[in-house]
Amino acid sequence: MVTPPTPDSFLPLTPAAFHILLALADGEKHGYGIMQEVIALSDGQIKLGPGTLYGTIKRMLSDGWIEESDERPDPELDDERRRYYRLTDLGNKVVRAEAGRLSRLVSAARAKRLLGGTRAAWQL
């Protein structure tokens, strides 16, 4: 009997995968919506190209992290039908696990006084 993979087994995530999952954390979105959310979340630092976006979406669909929702127009854009995606339970667990991992790293950086404008211990 094959043991299903645990969320931790997928860590660390690539930056593209993490940002896409993060963008979907508060609701389903279509491709361009995901792209815009990632730009907003990263203060413009990360701009996914269409190839990176859908290459990552394809792998996440295959891994069961996200699923297709439906196809419908976005009233804020135009009448064209767009494919929407949403997190699965596994995807939810994976993005939470990655967020936890990053949080622990940030805590470690704070403990070494690398954040908040204070000097690192070795500089004292």
Partner 1 sequence: MTTKVGLSEKLYRSLLAIYPTDYRREYGPLMAQVFRDMQRATHEQEGVMGVARLWLHTAIDLGATAGAEHYAEFRRTMMGKTLEKLEIDPRYGAWLLITAMIIAAGVLTKAFVKESGGSLVLGASILIAANLLAAIIMEAAIRTRGLILVSACILIAGYLLPIVWEDDPARWLQENPMNIWLILLLGLWSRPRGMWWMMPVTAFILGAIQVAVSLLL
Nearer to partner 1, 77 or 108 (CB): 77
In angstroms, what is the minimal distance from the CB of 74 to partner 1? Answer: 9
Nearest to 69 by CA among 35, 29, 38: 29
Residue 40, token pair as written in the block: 């907003």
- Output the DSSP codes for 72-105: EE-TTS-S-EEEEEEE-HHHHHHHHHHHHHHHHH
| Per-residue binding letters, 62-101, with partner 1 (x by CB under 8 A) | ---------------x--x-xx------------------
110 binds partner 1 (CB under 8 A): no
Residue 11 burial (C-beta neighbours within 10 Å; 0-12, 13-18, 19+): middle
Nearer to partner 1, 34 or 95 (CB): 34
In angstroms, what is the minimal distance from the CB of 103 to partner 1? Answer: 29
Site for partner 1 in 5-64 (CB under 8 A): 31-32, 35, 47, 49-55, 57-58
Contact (Cβ atoms closer than 8 angstroms) between residue 52 and residue 46: no
Nearer to partner 1, 31 or 113 (CB): 31
